[in-house]
Amino acid sequence: MAEASTHSVQPPPGSQTGHSASKAALAVGAIGIVFGDIGTSPLYAFRETFVGPHPLALDTAHVLGVISLIFWSMTLVVAIQYVTILMRADNKGQGGSLALVALISSHISGKKYGWVAVLLGVFATSLFYGDSMITPAISVLSAVEGLTVVDEGLSDYVIPIALVLLIFLFVLQKRGTAKVGALFAPVMIVYFTVIASMGAWQIVQTPDILWALNPYYAVNFFIIDGFTAFLALGSVVLAVTGSEALYSDMGHFGRGPMRLSWFGFVMPCLLLNYFGQGAMIIGLPNELAVEAIQSPFFFLASEEWRLPLVFLATFATFIASQAVISGAFSITHQAMQMGYIPRLSIRHTSETEGGQIYIPIVNWALMIAVIVLVLTFQNSSNLASAYGIAVTGAVTIDTLLMAVLLVGVWKWKWWYAAPVVLLFLIVDGAYFAANLAKVPDGGWFPLMVGAVAFTLLTTWARGRKLMRERMSEVALPMEIFAKSAKNSATRVPGTAIFMASAKGGVPSALLHNIKHNKVLHERVVILTIQIAEIPYVDPDGRCEYYDLGDGFFRAVLHYGFMEATDVPEGLKSMAVCGGEFDMMHTSFFLSRQTLLPSDKPGMPIWREKIFAWMLRNSATAMEFFRLPTNRVVELGSQVRI
């Protein structure tokens, strides 16, 4: 009952022009909500480069090479590609792969390569689901594993404690995070300050680590180790996981505050910690370095401070996981509004913040997947083998979309765009290729999740398109129906609203109603919900309407893909359709389609069965459009696709 369109826009809550709070206050808030994923990477990124599937020698050349790679990766991928360039590519304040696709589609619609950009964006979104399963598991596990640094005898308790924390995290979702969220920024500021201080102290002790700022040492690493250095990129990239999430979360705080947070606080703190870990390993005797590299993050602290650091790191990973889960809800909602996912039950957990939502089926599916991951992989090192490929895949896709953006939307000359795109494709492509070596050791998991999600998303979009085409082929024009029906049925008091998926034709529910009940209400409104390719629609342009005469009206309510489709609220602005809508005297008529086998199916039979299953299990329009439960009549119809 919803279709995409373009429409006028107002700044959403969270866009730069819509902020009432100061830039500094928003920057502080972003530290608590946005940077948790990339902020907890020091727990495992540096360690995995040396003790992961392709271990490296613990000597100065290798440490300088790895730290140099981390520094330049963070600079090129996060600071330049995402924070500097892609954050300019906002869709009316919103970021992320789907928002970018919507922005590109509005400018290149009709171009022969437009469908490729859409498929790339959908696949990047699909990969995000794999990432959102692995991030909570590896983050919380790596923090709780710090207990083994405090006391090796606690190793048997790591998995049970991690599972209890993760289950509690998912159970917490249905209550909303508004109250708990107030603690996020202070905790993360303390966390970043502590890890920066620990790193700075080690740098003071061993200042030679600062030579890693020179890219020569990154190049020298490849000269020394060749293919092994290339494989090490699969672990180095763990330092920049969360970069795509920064772009996706841009709409919550705005481009300016997030850049201030990143360049003014988060990036310096992270680099100080990474350089500190490298300095500590260089400065230790070899036998102690071998022990410390098993958990360099926690070895930065003296023994008496390691247990408090475990608690702080666990809280930080809890916050990081919360942000990823919320991101999964947000991405699902966007995909739903844009027609890639069937209607799902959505609960709003805040009366003031429209973006705070809870989607039960997504929450419990993620929880089950996270529990299975923890029990299967057992520790964060094993999980690191599964981590990275989804992130690097999404980042590489964003680079390809950036190429379309530069040429198709920003109208750059190709000789300007080509060097920029080529640079990032080389960097991102190298990381993705290095992560392909992880596929046998666990990298298959996010790829499998991405493939399943991509199949479901594209199947729903294709099936929905076919179903609408079949329904429009047999649809009776509304103007003809209105003239013929006014004298063929008894008119009864009240208003009947018939929900329609398209702006043309007579809804099947209206035909069935007059066929079986032989009555028409005094006011009949054919209502269509259209989802725009922008995040928020101007309330003044929310509705459009047409008086068809004889008490018949056709109306359209426009919503952005970030907005909740609250139909009763939207109807308040449509008093022009024969007067105000009194919910006690208004009935909503919905069509419930049942698919029948077709002699000439529009897609393979296995996909048709998947689509039919998704259609049967989608949430009712009554729930999705927030219709009053006691005012809804649902009538069935059959469709062949």
DSSP lists the bridge partners of residue 632 as: 588
- In tens, the pLDDT along 502-518 reads 777 788 788 878 877 78
Alpha-carbon gap, residue 167 to 152, rounded angstroms: 25
pLDDT digit string, tens, across residues 276-290: 999 999 988 888 888
Q: Are 4 and 334 in contact (CB under 8 A)?
A: no
Read off the pLDDT of residues 318-359 as tens digits, 9 standing for 90 and up: 888 888 888 888 888 888 888 888 888 888 765 555 556 788
Closest among 418, 92, 448 to 251, alpha carbons compared: 92
The pLDDT value given to residue 199: 94
Residues 153, 157, 158, 159, Cα dihedral to 10°? 140
The tokens of 184 are what? 């996020």
At 290 the pLDDT is: 87
State pLDDT tens for residues 374-426: 999 888 888 887 888 888 888 888 888 888 888 878 888 888 888 888 998 99
Q: What's the pLDDT band for 189 if we cut at 50, 70, 90?
A: very high
Higher pLDDT, 355 or 491: 491
C-alpha to C-alpha distance for 308 and 198, rounded to whole angstroms: 13
Integer Cα distance of 344 and 617 in angstroms: 9
Residue 371's pLDDT is what? 94
Angle between helices 414-435 and 227-236 (to 10 degrees): 90
Residue 316, both tokens:
């930080």
Predicted pLDDT at 270: 95
pLDDT at 155: 83
Q: What is the DSSP letter of 93?
A: T
Residue 434 has pLDDT above 70, yes or no: yes
d(CA 370, CA 131): 11
**Range from 143-152, 266-275, 632-641 carrying the lowest mean pLDDT:** 632-641
Neighbours of 444 (CB within 10 A): 15
| 541, two tokens | 């342009």
Q: Tokens 């029906």 label which residue?
A: 485
Query: What per-residue string of b and e applies to 500-509 under the rule 16 or more CB within 10 Å gives b?
Result: bbbbebbbbb
pLDDT in tens, 563-607: 878 888 888 877 777 778 888 888 898 887 777 666 667 788 888
Q: Find out whether 612 and 443 touch, Cβ atoms under 8 Å.
A: no
Alpha carbons 37 and 311: distance in angstroms, whole number: 17
User: Tokens 């590109």 map to which residue?
Assistant: 104
Is the confidence at residue 364, as pLDDT, over 90? yes
Two tokens, residue 292 = 């410390």
Which tokens in the block code for residue 625? 């459009």
Q: How far apart are the first and last CA of the chain?
A: 17
Length in residues, the chain:
641
Residue-wise pLDDT for 214-250, tens only, equals: 999 999 999 988 888 898 888 898 898 877 777 777 7
pLDDT of residue 454: 92
Q: Which residue bears the tokens 């963070």?
A: 74
Burial 37-60 (b: 16+ CB within 10 A, else e): bbbbbbbbbbbbbbbbbbebebeb
Summarised one tens digit per residue, pLDDT across range 600-638 is 677 888 888 888 888 888 887 787 888 888 888 887 666
Task: Report the interhelical angle of 158-172 vs 303-337 (nearest 10°).
Answer: 40
Residue 499's SS3 state is strand
**Contact assessment for residue 471 and residue 502, using Cβ atoms and an 8 Å cutoff:** yes
**Residue 10 confidence (pLDDT):** 40
Q: Are 155 and 378 in contact (CB under 8 A)?
A: no
Dig out the tokens for 116 from the structure. 């490729």
The count of other CB atoms within 10 Å of the CB of residue 622 is 18
Please give the pLDDT value at position 409: 80
% of the chain exceeding 70 in pLDDT: 90
- Average pLDDT in the chain: 83
Confirm if 590 and 312 have CB atoms less than 8 A apart. Answer: no
Instruction: Find the range with the poorest average confidence among 230-244, 296-310, 469-483, 627-641.
Output: 469-483
Is residue 486 very low, low, confident or very high in pLDDT (cuts 50, 70, 90)?
low
**Pairwise CA distance, residues 164 & 12, whole Å:** 37
Helices (H) and strands (E) in the chain, counts: 29, 9
Angle subtended at Cα 450 by Cα 444 and Cα 453, rounded to the nearest 5 degrees: 140
pLDDT-based confidence at residue 151 (cuts at 50, 70, 90):
confident
Taking CB atoms within 8 Å and a gap of at least 24, the contacts of 49-55 are 49/232, 49/235, 49/236, 50/293, 51/293, 51/294, 51/381, 52/234, 52/235, 52/381, 52/384, 52/385, 53/231, 53/234, 53/385, 53/437, 53/438, 53/441, 54/228, 54/231, 54/232, 54/234, 54/235, 54/437
Judge whether residue 18 has pLDDT over 60. no
List C-alpha distances in Å: 512 to 489, 506, 587: 13, 11, 15
The pLDDT value recorded for residue 271 is: 95
What secondary structure does DSSP assign to 510-540, as a single string?
HHHHHHHT-EEEEEEEEEEEEEESSS-B-GG
Q: Model confidence at 492, in pLDDT bands (50, 70, 90)? A: confident
CB-CB neighbours of 274 under 10 Å: 26
Residue 70 has pLDDT above 90, yes or no: yes
* Residues 292 and 278 sit within 8 Å (Cβ to Cβ): no
Checking if the pLDDT of 176 tops 60, the result is yes
Tokens for 205, please give them: 């002790």
pLDDT tens column, 79-134? 998 888 888 877 776 777 777 887 787 777 666 666 787 888 888 888 888 888 88
**CATH 3.20.20.60: does it fit domain 22-462?**
no
What lies within 8 Å, CB to CB, of 293 at 6+ separation is 47, 50, 51, 58, 281
Arithmetic mean of pLDDT, 289-293 = 88
Secondary element (H or E) of residue 491: strand 490-499
- Domain boundaries, given as residue ranges, for the chain: 22-462, 476-640
User: Average pLDDT for residues 298-316, to the nearest whole number?
Assistant: 90
